[in-house]
Structure 1
Amino acid sequence: MPDSPSVPGPETNLKNTVLSTAAGLTQPLAPLKNICAHLNAFHTYADSPGHAVETDHYCAHLSNSVRQCLLYDSAEPNARLIGIEYMITPDLYCGLDAEERKLWHSHVFEVKSGMLAMPKPATVPEVAWEFAEKKEMEEVVGLYGKVFHLWDTRDALPLGLPRLMTSFTEASQVDESVWRERDERMGIDRERKVEGRKGIEEPSLHADADAAWKGNIAAIVEHCLMSKEKGL
């Protein structure tokens, strides 16, 4: 992915490296060990959609209906934690109030277009991984996601307030050169993914989802914040 600003401060010293290693060997770190999937896709800012932010998702199941994902700017050991995403099933989504539903996005385009990918470990055969990835896509295609980024990857530090993000819902919204660079770097054959996912059934989407592409999302966010403050 394109170079990001360097994080300020000296590199991690031996003391911190030893402490981190010791903690990893002795502390349970149970929530992190519940992570069961690594996904890669692009997000964009809900209040000004367009700029594509490549995001590596590390996701865990809280139940059969709810997932939570830690979001990083890469899959490298020193990747920056830039956000969080929650994913829920359609039945839970439909139970939310109308204004809340507008903060959530769909995953249909990400899945069907090949944008959403499970990076393949080098040691796993391609055919076996394609089967596993397709099974994961069959699950994700119907989920609704709510995502906040805490760190704009163009900044050296996490500045300002968290930003509500959304997904892309059609190819014309995405900078093709950014998408193509990701595919080439990760060895992704987009056409092969599209062909392999043709059999994945497209769910009917709720009209309130993907509101960022339909109107003034900033007003929606403000309304939800005010309602929260008033205890509504």
Structure 2
Amino acid sequence: MEGKNISTHPEIPGEKTKTGTALVETATAAIQGFGPINKIHQHLCAFHFYGHDMSRQVEAHHFCAHQNEEMRQCLIYDSPNKDARLIGLEYIVSENLFMTLPDDEKRMWHSHEYEVKSGVLFMPGIPGAIQRQDLDKVAKTYGKVIHFWQVDKGDDLPLGIPQVMMALTRDGQLFGVSFENERGNRKYMTGPEHGIHPMANAGGKGIKTVLRETDCKPVDSVPRVFV
């Protein structure tokens, strides 16, 4: 990767972890299972921008697990370090699954073709030839990203409303970072079979999550799921 890390890494307020807490964590880690976490098999790095403000760009480290061949889910951190902040998540689906979504839903998903072919999306530490075997598949997918922690603003805690994030779709959108070395190696890759859907990437417009007060359904009106 060429360029610089354009995300920030704020200090989290609060008391340092005590020895007693660390001992309990060691004990529980030895006894409990962490199936969903242990299923993570891949580290992807890319950049997201807020759906309503392209100038706010965040480096996003994805730690992903396949649910099946057509869907993977990723935890997103602001760095690959052990003290990284969990700032969001992304769901990645095949073109086939994306096409089953309602049109209103499609607007919240972004394409990956440009990210992959430009070199912006990559696997840190993995040789290019191995990366390209999987990224050729990723180029044909769509992703839905929600960020909870606005680290680009320097927030030391996850404040505000979770926001839909978008991905880069053309040259000139990313500030201060170049990936030209890898771009040439990925020229052969192709995007979705039917082309990028016009409703994806917010339909070419801005998209923002807002908070609206509404009535809360009483308990009696909610179907009982558990007996």
For Structure 1 versus Structure 2, the TM-score category normalised by the shorter chain is 0.7 to 0.9
Q: Which residue of 2 aligns with 1:76?
A: 81
Structure-2 separation of matches of 1:21 and 1:109? 43
Q: What SS does the corresponding residue of 1:50 show, helix, strand or coil?
A: strand
Q: Deviations over 1:114-170 (max 9, x none)?
A: 11010116xxxxxxx222200121111011000000101120000111111010111
Q: What SS does the corresponding residue of 1:100 show, helix, strand or coil?
A: helix
Q: What SS does the corresponding residue of 2:115 show, helix, strand or coil?
A: helix
User: Structure 1 pair 171/25, CA: closer, same or farther in 2 (3 Å)?
Assistant: farther
Q: Which residue of 2 aligns with 1:201?
A: 190
- TM-score calculated relative to the size of structure 2: 0.83
Number of aligned positions between the proteins: 203
Q: What SS does the corresponding residue of 1:195 show, helix, strand or coil?
A: helix
**Residue type matched to 1:146 in 2?**
K
Greater gyration radius = 2
Matches within 5 A, 1:120-135: 120=125, 129-135=127-133
Q: Which residue of 1 aligns with 2:11?
A: 6
Q: Which residue of 1 aligns with 2:173?
A: 173
Q: How much does 1:8 deviate?
A: 0.3
Q: How much does 1:38 deviate?
A: 0.3
Which contiguous aligned blocks of 4+ residues in structure 1 show a shift greater than 3 angstroms? Answer: none
Give the helix-richer structure, 1 or 2.
1
Matches within 5 A, 1:34-183: 34-120=39-125, 129-153=127-151, 154-175=154-175, 177=176, 179-180=177-178
Structure-2 separation of matches of 1:59 and 1:18? 29
Asked whether the 8 Å contact 2:140–2:190 carries over to 1, the reply is no
- TM-score calculated relative to the size of structure 1: 0.81
Structure-2 separation of matches of 1:19 and 1:135? 41
Q: How much does 1:70 deviate?
A: 0.3
Q: Which residue of 2 aligns with 1:184?
A: none
Q: Deviations over 1:166-193 (max 9, x none)?
A: 1011121111x2x25xxxxxxxxx3331
Structure-2 separation of matches of 1:15 and 1:140? 43
User: Structure 1 pair 30/105, CA: closer, same or farther in 2 (3 Å)?
Assistant: same
Q: Deviations over 1:4-26 (max 9, x none)?
A: 22100122222222222333332
Q: Which runs of 5+ in 1 are unaligned?
A: 122-128, 181-189
